[in-house]
Structure 1
Amino acid sequence: MKLLIRLSLVLAVLTLISSCKKSKQRINEQPDNNGSAIIAYFNWSGVQRVNSNIKFTNASKNADTYKWDFGNGQTSAKHTPDDVKFTAAGAYTITLVAGKGDNKAVYQQTIAIAGNEMPAAYFSYTFKDQRNYAPATVLFKNESVNADFYKWQINGNTYNSTDLQHTFNQAGDYIVKLTAIKGQDENTFTDTITVAPNNNPIARFALPYHPYPYTVNEPIQLVNQSTNADAWEWTFSNGAPASSTAEHPEVKFGAPGVYTITLIAKKGSLKSAPRSINIKIN
C-alpha cells in the first residue's frame, strides 16, 4: 500500500525511462502548537530502472523532524535524503513522516521500478469529489512504464484505455487489475478498492515497509489511512503508550511476542468498526 501497507511487487523490467511522476496519493496536515499546519510532501526524479539513482526533494512545511522509509529496507532522518537505488524490480511505497513536537503529517507515493525491457504495471487512484461511499466514481491513473497497451479488469469487465474512470454503484471491496503489455510481454498490478455504504468513518492503517519482524523497544510508526474521520482511538496491547488519540502515533513493545494494534475512527458522534492487526516483536 505493505508489511501491511499494500506492496504488490511488480516483477517488471524496462528500458531507460526518465520521468518524474508526482501523482499525489496522500497528504495529511496537522496543526502544530502555534496553529500553523504541518504539511508532509516530497517530489522525486530519476530513471525508473533498477540501480538508477532516484532523488527525493523534501517540500514539507512547518516541520523540523523527518522520517523517510523508501520501501526497500532503507530509511533516513535527513531533511533531504541521499539518492536511493532500488536493486530489484517492484512497486515501492515511499513514506515521509514530517513532525514538530508531538504533531505529525504523512505523505506517501508509490513508484514502479523496472529493468531491462519488460513492462512494469502500476496505478494510483482517487475518489471523485472525495466521495468514497456508494455510488462512488473512482479516477484511476495509469503509472505503468515501458508498455504500449493496457488492459483493466473490474468485476469481470475489461477495458483497454490508458487511464480509467469507473463508477461503483454498490458498497464493497472490488479487485482491480491493470495489465501492461509490450509485444508478447505483460505484467499485472492488482489493488483492492473499498467503497463504503455511507459517509460514516472507516478505520484503516498500515505500517511503512520494514524488514520484519520488529524488535523490542523499536519505535514503530503507524500510518493512519482512515476515511471520513476527524478523531481516532488507538489501543496497543501491552504497548508504550497503551493508547493514543494522535492521527499517526508511534508505539514500542518492551518484550518479545505477538501484539494487537486496534484503531477506531470517529466523526462527531459516529464511530467506525474496530480495525486490528497483529504484529510480531522479536
Structure 2
Amino acid sequence: MKNISPKYLYLGLIFIISPVLTTAQSESNTVYTCINQISENITAPVRIALDPKNNIYVSDVKQNRIIKYNTSGQLIKQIPLNFPPASIAVNKNEDLFIGDKNSGEIYKISSTGEISLFSNKCVSALSICFDSDEQMYVADGKQNGIIILDKNGNITGTLGKEVLTYPVCLFYDKRTNRILAGEHGGTGTGFTPECKIYVFDLQGNIINSFGSYGNNDGQFYRIQGITSGKCNNIYVSDPFQGTVSVFDKEYNFITKFGKFGNNPGELNMPLDIAFSEDEIIFVSSLNNGRIELFKAPENLPSSKIFDSDAVICPGDSTNIKIKLTGTPPWNFTYAVNGYAREEITSEDSIFTLKISEPGIYEIIKLSDNTNTGSCFTGSAVIKTPEILPSVSISSNDTLTCSEDTALIRFDFSGNAPWYFPLIYNDSAQTNIFTLNNPTFLPVTKKGTYEINKISDAFCTSANISETLTLSTQEKPYADFLYKNNNTEITFINTSENADSFLWDFGNGNISTEETPSPEFYSPGIYEISLTAKNKCGEDTVEKIVNITNSENNNCDRTFIKISPNPSKGTFILECNNSTRTKIFIEIISSSGKTVFSKFFYGKKIKEKINIENLPQGIYILKIKSSEFAGSLKLIIKR
C-alpha cells in the first residue's frame, strides 16, 4: 500500500504542504473507527484542547483564531487573534492560554472573556500543559527545552535541556505525575534519530523514553501530538505517516490507527490529538482542514490482578490470580518491582501465576488475538515477614502415669493467630489454631509429638522441626529372692518400675536400700516385706523366711531400746555394749539421706537424742561397731 508523507514541516512556520509518496512498512489497525468530522469554519487546524466540560478548542493558524465547539461538534464561537496561535491549553478554571507562534508570548483569556498577557518568558511556545498544581509547562523549540512557569507567568525551572533538541508536544500524566515530551525528530527536510518520547519526573529526571525514527511499529518520521486515553494508553500522532500510534501505560507499543489521505476518516498531516471523557479521540488533520473523530474499541483486551496480596515465608510460594478479557489467546508480560520477568501465553481467562519471590507484581504488557490495545490494572504485593513464625514445644510432665494427663506447652514467635499440624507417632495429625501465646494442650496419649510447619497471620507456611516425647511411668511391681546359707542370708531385689524401696525384716529393722544385707540376732521365722514405690503408686510383697542360724551379736536386740517410739522427735537410746568398742549411730530418712550421726563410747549406753527439727515420718536408726551392726525402725509422729 502507499502512504502519503509530507515533504517537510517546520513548526516555526506552519504551512499547508504538498505531500510526496513513500512506501509504508506496515498496515495500520482499522479497529479504531472514524465516527465523524468537525470542519465548520476550519481552514488549518493545528492544536486541540478540551476544557473541563469537554468543549473543544481548535487553533487555526491560517485564520489567526481559536474556534470553540461543544461536545457534539456544534460551533459555539470564534475568538479572533492578531497573531497565529501555535499552542493552546485550558486549565481547571476554564481559562484559555494561547501561545503566539511569532513572539513566543503566552496570552490568557479568562472564563469571562478578558484577554491579558500571561508571560513573555518563552521564545517559541509550541505546546502547553498544566500539572496538578497548575504549574504551566511550555515546549520551547528555540530554547531546546521545557520552560516551567508559575501561576503568575514567572519561570521557576526547566526540564530536558540536556537531551531535547526540538520539543514540540507535551502531556502531563496525572496517573504517574510525570511530563511526557515529544522530540520532533528534525526541522525542515532533515531527519535525526532522536524522534522519541521522553518521560520526566517533575524534578527533571529522565524516567524513561520510547519510540525511535522509522516507520515500523513504535517508530515515527515525526512526532507532533501526544495524549493519554482509555486504560491510560498513550497516543502519539505522526504527521508524515498520517497515523496515530498507541502505547500502553508502560510505554510498550500496542497498535496504530489512521491512514494517510484526504477522504473522510483519513489523515493528512495529523498535528495534534486529544481524548474526551466519553472516549472520543480528536485528531487535527492540517491539510484536510478538519478534525477527525475516532472511537476507541469497546472491548480492549484487559488484565486485572485481584485478591493476591500475600506474605510468604522464604522457600514457600503463593498464587497470583490474573483475570483476562478479550479474545484468546492472550500474551502478557509480568514484572517484579518494575523489571520484566517472563512472557506468558494463556488460553484461559483466569490465569494463576505461582510465585515464590517477594516484590510488587504487575502486568506491563498485554495483547490478545485482535492486537487492538490493552488495559491492565491491579498489582500484587508479596512480602516476607520481619519475624518468621516458629514454635517450641515442651512439658513439665514428660514422664507420667499411664492414666494421667500430661500438659504440652507451645511458645510462639511471629504474629497471631498461629496454625500448625501436630503429628503423633508419625501418623495421626491434629490441626491446631490458636490466638494465645503460650498455648497449653492436655494429652493422655504417650508417645512422640512433632511439628514440622507453622503458619501465622502473615506467613502461609514456615518449615520447622520440633519434637517432644512423653513417656509412661508404669505402676511398680515388688518382689525379691533370698538365699540362706545358715551363717548369713542374702536378699535379691527383683522389683520392677520402682525408684524407691522399703524393707521390713520382721525384727524391728528396716532398710531403704535396694539390696540390703540385714543382721539377724537369733534364729527363727521372720515375716519379711518389701514395698516398691514410684510416682504412680506402690506395691508390697511379704514372704516368710526361716533363719536357722545367726551369729551372736555383742549388742543383742534385747538390750537395744528406743523410748518412746513413736516420739515427737526426742527419745532415749539404750544399748549394753559388753566389748566397750566404739559405737556409730546413724539416722536415715525414708529418702536415704543421713539426718543424724554420732559416735558413742562405753559399756552401757544411754543417750538422749533430739531430732525435733525433722518432719514426721518413718526413719531408720542404724547401730554399727567393729563387732556388730543392727537397725531399728524409728517413728516421728506429732
Same fold (TM over 0.5): no
TM-score by length of 1: 0.33
TM-score by length of 2: 0.18
Structure with greater Cα Rg: 2
